[in-house]
Amino acid sequence: MCGITGWVAFDRDLTAEPGDRAVLDAMTATQLCRGPDAGGAVLEPHAAIGHRRLAVIDVEGGTQPMRVERDGRLLAALTYSGEVYNHRELRAELEAAGHRFRTRSDTEVVLHAYLEWGEGLAERLNGMFALAVWDARREELLLVRDRMGVKPLHYHRTPDGVVFGSEPKALFAHPAVRPVVDPDGLRELLGYTRTPGLTPYRGIHEVRPGHVVRVRREGVSVRRYWALEAREHRDGLANTVATVRALLDDIVHRQLDADVPLCSLLSGGLDSSAVTALAARALRAAGAGPLRSFSVDFTGQGEFHGSEVRETPDGPFARLLARHAGTDHSVIELDAAELADPARRSAALRARDLPGGVGDMDVSLLLLFRGVRRHSTVALSGESADELFGGYGWFHDPRTVAAEDFPWATGLTRIAGAGSGPREQLLDAELLRKLDLEGYRRARYREAIAEVPHLDAADPTERRMREISYLNLTRFLCILLDRKDRMSMANGLEVRVPYCDHRLVQYVFNTPWAMKSFDGREKSLLRAAVRDVLPAAVADRAKSPYPVTTDPHYSARLRAELGRLAAARTSPALDLLDGRRLADALAPDTDPRSVRLGLDLALDLDAWLTEYRVTLEL
């Protein structure tokens, strides 16, 4: 896992001016957290390529950017972030074709795969990756992103090429790119949606998941190499359960490949417990030591009181699974003062390059990963099982399923904390009317629905549930994957997501909803596939979302900080807030917990506009 960046300029010689090397160094330096172990650069007449490395496989040999030369002339240079889990099979295939390798790294396999198959390498890679290849022979740049969008990759077109990087902050270090946000950008930021290929910043695009972008003198072209497809599911229930289990066994085994300490993130829920149990068992079978596992908890919570969203606390279930699987388990404890600390909020903002997280989730995840990184470099996560297997309540609520809207539009507020109010509650009323967030979201919803692949013979229920699954996998999961990547890589921690293996995703996407919910519960198929490796209490536990603090001091600290900013009248965020609503939120007789999400967003906006010097063109 690493940070990549650079640019191509076909109308200039980048080796002629020393300032271009300084720009490349500045862009690369923004990715230091993503790659704390080493850095490098390649500067060619029309291409500047930078890299920061987090060493995971072949620590000594996998330095980047990696080059291939012939007779002293550059053929191609690669800067690459991520992991390719089938690199050993690809290496054998490439060796049979005559390629010779100097290292054990998957980076060298990716580079030689490009030399052998060109942009066709994308279809052959199994993993999470974002990569850029400069082909000096053809003078063209290739940008490739993994199928599910686990690893980020952004680009900005210029008059004579593109600027690219893992994160927007790398692009902002280039003089041609500035942080500008217009009304559509603000709608993307606030609308509880994520449109593939877009970002809130004007002119900055994501390489869409499952796509390659080719940059030549003649211009920029985009090709899709993978997408969810509608396929008839021919397996019965028993064979379907067995296939899911076989895939999970293979996926988890592949994702244990690392030359550095590896652990598992364990909440005690079904998803993370399954990954942890399978990983622990695979390590034991290989004669390796016990798997380390980590969970998060909050101090100052008091006695736990169950709710509609969270029926049970995570701690007892995480400890039960850890004992059952034989992991070396630790709990990372966080407190309200640290979660509300403006310095921590700024750190989370810099990691994400954007405001707009839900409640304290960004900061708590950042701090959790900081604690995990003290012990491990790689972590396995249960992310994406809910989207894939139907774990969220909105999959099972008939009104939400029938609504012509993204099903999570209201669910996220409930997850972040009952009674905490809508996130946009403190924003200026006239601004909200202009943005029409609901109208924007519904338009994006219709675009997404038009993409869904269907089987001709599907009944109405199966057809609608295929649509709900597609929306979750292509419009919601990307929000969570981006959050997890940014918060983990800000700490130099690589988080792997076994449930995002494209083989599993394609298979389960085409499994009928009747099988995914065959026992009348959420994630029936996953539960059946892994029940034998879990304690019954863990296997039967109801879905419980990522925890948020319930300490009342957290909301009080948020209000105090926003009150300080409002009194100083210097915050650029005040122009986006409604004066009356702000005054009501800051009034002593208002319970700060009732406006918690609004307080969070207002403080996020202040930090973002201040630190990034964003130009708002509204």
Compute the average pLDDT of residues 418-423.
64
pLDDT of residue 81: 97
Instruction: Answer whether the bond into residue 65 is a cis peptide, omega within 30°.
Output: yes
Residue 552 has what pLDDT? 78
Note whether 603 and 453 are within 8 A (CB). Answer: no
Parallel, antiparallel or unpaired: strands 262-265 and 494-496? unpaired
Q: What is the pLDDT of residue 311?
A: 63
Q: Is the pLDDT at 301 greater than 70, yes or no?
A: no
**58 touches 36 (CB < 8 A):** no
pLDDT given at position 154? 98
- 137: burial class by Cβ within 10 Å (0-12, 13-18, 19+)? exposed
Give burial (CB, 10 Å; 0-12/13-18/19+) of 141.
Answer: buried
Q: How many CA atoms lie within 13 A of 381 on its CB side?
A: 24
Q: How confident is the model at residue 206 (pLDDT cuts 50, 70, 90)?
A: very high
Share of the chain above pLDDT 70, in %: 95
pLDDT of residue 306: 47
Whether residue 597 is predicted with pLDDT greater than 70 in this model: the reply is: yes
How does the average pLDDT of the chain come out, rounded?
A: 93
Q: Which residues contact 203 (CB under 8 A, 6 or more apart)?
A: 156, 157, 177, 180
Please state, in angstroms and as integers, the Cα–Cα distance from residue 344 to each residue in 359, 370, 371, following that order.
13, 12, 14
pLDDT at 309: 52
533 is written with which tokens?
Answer: 């490796």
Two structure tokens written together for 172: 């902002």
Q: What is the pLDDT of residue 290?
A: 95
State the Cα–Cα distance between residues 317 and 330, nearest whole angstrom. 13
CA distance 489 to 372: 12
Q: What is the dihedral of CA 415, 597, 187, 163, to 10 degrees?
A: -90
Q: How many CA atoms lie within 13 A of 33 on its CB side?
A: 21
Looking at residue 588, its pLDDT comes to 92
Asked whether the predicted pLDDT for residue 493 surpasses 70, the reply is yes
How do residues 74-105 score in pLDDT, each as one tens digit?
999 999 999 999 999 999 999 999 999 999 99
Mean pLDDT of 169-175: 98
For residue 194, what are its two tokens?
Answer: 């994520």
Mean pLDDT of 252-275: 97
Out of 206-220, 227-241, 594-608, which region has the weakest mean confidence (pLDDT)? 594-608
In angstroms, the CA 52 to CA 35 distance is 4
Encoded amino acid at 502, one letter = H
Give the mean model confidence (pLDDT) for residues 413-422: 55
Q: In what order do the strands lie in the sheet with 204-206?
A: 38-44, 47-53, 2-9, 161-165, 154-158, 204-206
CB atoms within 10 A of CB 332: 17
pLDDT for residue 412: 59
> Is 19 a residue whose pLDDT tops 60?
yes
Mean pLDDT of 490-494: 97
| CA distance linking residue 258 with residue 424, whole number of Å | 43
What count of other Cβ atoms lies within 10 Å of the Cβ of residue 341?
A: 16
Contact between 153 and 166 (Cβ < 8 Å) = yes
Length of the chain: 618
Distance CA 321, CA 338 (A): 28
Read off the amino acid at residue 526. Answer: L
Determine the pLDDT at residue 310: 55
Strands 47-53 and 2-9: antiparallel
How far apart CA 183 and CA 186 sit, in angstroms, is 5
Q: What is the pLDDT of residue 357?
A: 65
- Bigger pLDDT: 61 or 429? 429
Query: Rounded mean pLDDT of 576-598?
Result: 92
Backbone angles phi and psi of 423, in degrees to 5: -65, -35
Residue 400, pLDDT > 50, answer yes
In whole angstroms, give the CA distance from residue 164 to residue 130: 11
Does residue 333 register a pLDDT over 90?
Answer: yes
Alpha-carbon distances of 98 from 78, 92, 304, 460, rounded to whole Å: 20, 10, 62, 53
Per-residue pLDDT of 114-149, as tens digits, reads 999 999 999 999 999 999 999 999 999 999 999 999
In the predicted structure, residue 417 carries a pLDDT above the cut 60: no
pLDDT digits 0-9 by tens, 515-573:
999 999 999 999 999 999 999 999 999 887 776 777 778 888 989 999 999 998 999 99
List all residues 6 or more positions away from 235 whose beta carbon is below 8 Å from its beta carbon.
Answer: 243
Distance of CA 332 to the CA centre of its chain: 21
Q: What is the mean pLDDT of residues 320-336?
A: 95
> Which residues carry out catalysis?
2
Of 333, 330, 268, the closest CA to residue 298 belongs to 333
- 3-state per-residue secondary structure call for 273-331: HHHHHHHHHHHHHCCCCCCEEEEEEECCCCCCCCCCCCCCCCHHHHHHHHHHHCCEEEE
- Mean pLDDT, range 591-611, rounded to an integer: 92
Give the pLDDT confidence score for residue 421 in this predicted structure. Answer: 65
